């Protein structure tokens, strides 16, 4: 399970070091998320779990008249976001847990998140707080993974690991697939006061490797980010060497047109704050 303490520490450092390849892996999904977020006008936007800042910066660039605030619990990720946005005058990045964060005078009329909402330990309380600090009728737009079985990168990596090692927490527990069940998420949002939640299934290419050696590119990425990285770090040297060899072979079988792209499956979720 990746929880707040891990994002404040090891996970935050890993993702901060890999922000370029992480943005690449989500590129097609990010465009769908931005299209939905930009569908209506907004004055103040809150990016929940903003990470290295890609979504915040895109919103600020495309709506220069709006004010955008990105919030994350990882200082390492925020340091990257601030460097990337040092020339953007209408975006700010703040350290905090979005489920408790607030800024005097800042009532967002757009709340957006790319895979940043699945780690709340108490999601009803977190979304209730977000509804309370939002402008009346504010739009909520976020993405989250559908089940691991529908995400070939996750199911494929899990098949290479020893039983029980690296398995993601089930839906409902903080982790990458916590919001995989739309009925569960719809109930959370409704209980927290959000209206009319909708779920659109988005299939996208999860790009893991490309360039002159896509296999080594993907291998080095998966050994830093995600369940394979966590599991391999717990292995003895011989077991880890065997796992890396099997992972390399697994990736080599999936090179197409000079890159490795797995089937990615997400929900694009929309809801509205109380009027």
Is residue 180 in some structural domain?
A: yes
pTM given for the model: 0.92
Residue 202 near residue 143, CB atoms below 8 Å: yes
Enumerate the β-bridge partners of residue 71: 48, 94
Residue 91 near residue 68, CB atoms below 8 Å: yes
Question: What letter does residue 148 receive in the DSSP assignment?
Answer: G
Using one digit for the tens of pLDDT, what is the confidence trace for 108-135?
999 999 999 999 999 999 999 999 999 9
Domain CATH number, residue 44: 3.40.50.150
Q: CA geometry: angle at 138 spanning 134 and 142, to 5°?
A: 95
Is residue 111 in some structural domain?
A: yes
Using one digit for the tens of pLDDT, what is the confidence trace for 210-252?
999 999 999 999 998 887 888 888 889 999 999 999 999 999 9
- Cα-based distances in Å from 235 to 161, 165, 223, 242: 10, 10, 12, 10
Domain range enclosing 101 = 4-147+169-207+264-272
Is residue 240 in some structural domain?
A: no
User: Could you count the other beta carbons within 10 Å of the beta carbon of residue 54?
Assistant: 23
């Amino acid at each position: 399970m990746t929880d707040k303490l891990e994002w404040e520490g090891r996970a935050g450092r890993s993702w901060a070091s890999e922000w370029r390849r992480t943005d690449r892996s989500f590129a097609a999904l990010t465009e769908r998320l931005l299209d939905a977020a930009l569908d209506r006008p907004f004055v103040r936007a809150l990016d929940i779990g903003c990470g290295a800042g890609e979504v915040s910066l895109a919103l600020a660039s495309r709506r220069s008249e709006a004010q955008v605030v990105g919030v994350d619990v990882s200082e390492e990720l925020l340091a990257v976001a601030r460097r990337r946005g040092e020339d953007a005058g209408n975006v700010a990045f703040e350290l905090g847990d979005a489920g408790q964060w607030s800024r005097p005078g800042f009532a967002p009329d757009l709340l957006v998140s790319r895979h940043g909402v699945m780690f709340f330990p108490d999601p009803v309380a977190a979304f209730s707080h977000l509804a309370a600090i939002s402008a009346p009728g504010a739009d909520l737009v976020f993405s989250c993974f559908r089940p691991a079985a529908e995400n070939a990168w996750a199911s494929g990596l899990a098949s290479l690991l020893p039983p029980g090692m690296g398995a993601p927490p089930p839906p409902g527990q903080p982790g990458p697939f916590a919001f995989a069940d739309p009925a569960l998420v719809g109930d959370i949002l409704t209980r927290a006061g959000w209206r009319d939640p909708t779920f659109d299934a988005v299939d996208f290419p999860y790009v893991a490797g490309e360039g002159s050696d896509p296999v080594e590119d993907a291998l080095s990425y998966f050994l830093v980010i995600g369940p394979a990285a966590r599991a391999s770090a717990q292995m003895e040297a011989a077991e880890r060497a065997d796992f890396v060899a099997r992972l390399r072979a697994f990736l080599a079988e999936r090179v197409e047109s000079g890159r490795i792209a797995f089937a990615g499956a997400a929900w694009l979720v929309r809801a509205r704050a109380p009027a």
